[in-house]
Amino acid sequence: MIEFIKMTESDVKEMLEFLQQEDIDKKNFINQLDKIFLAKDQGKIYGFGLVELSEGAVKIKGVYIQEDKRRHRFGDGLVRTMLHYAYLKNMTKAFYQIQNNSLDSFIEKMGFRQWEPNILYLDLGLFFSKTCHNCK
């Protein structure tokens, strides 16, 4: 079963192993474990996202999906989960700083639009008032 969840203490060991397996420097995440969301299938981590909540807004700091799970909607489900979490915490806006990589176009396809140079923006109320594009 695929699940998208906020990381808990019980996920830390597996997350650190995942970072090592994917050759991702864990020092960037050690002090941010409470800001990480996970994409799991059959209990195994296949990706993660990092958010930062501030007054009324959420910033998508990054999303990483294991290579063989990309283009299988893991990223979409993970970002939607992070946005929904923020929305339930009364955040009204989401921001993403352009990083000049494949995540930029993925974030734009989700509905983020240019806000300032190098910053994309999404109105969470509007986002969650529409049906998802793959819903029947």
What is the rounded average pLDDT for all residues in the chain?
Answer: 88
Contact yes or no for 51/83 (Cβ under 8 A): no
Task: Report the Cα 108 to chain-centroid distance in Å.
Answer: 13
Contact yes or no for 29/36 (Cβ under 8 A): yes
pLDDT exceeds cutoff 60 at 134: no
User: With pLDDT > 70 as the criterion, what percentage of the chain qualifies?
Assistant: 96
Domain ranges of the chain: 2-129
Beta strands in 86-126 (DSSP E): 93-97, 113-116, 119-123
Query: Which pLDDT score, from 0 to 100, does residue 136 have?
Result: 41
pLDDT exceeds cutoff 90 at 102: no
SS3 111: coil
Cα–Cα distance, 86 to 93 (Å, whole number): 9
User: With pLDDT > 90 as the criterion, what percentage of the chain qualifies?
Assistant: 46
Q: What angle do CA 90, 58, 114 make, to 5 degrees?
A: 120
Label residue 132 by pLDDT band (50, 70, 90): low
More confident residue, 31 or 49: 49
SS3 78: helix
Query: Which pLDDT score, from 0 to 100, does residue 135 have?
Result: 47
Q: Domain spanning 2-129: which CATH class is it, in words?
A: alpha beta
pLDDT exceeds cutoff 80 at 66: yes
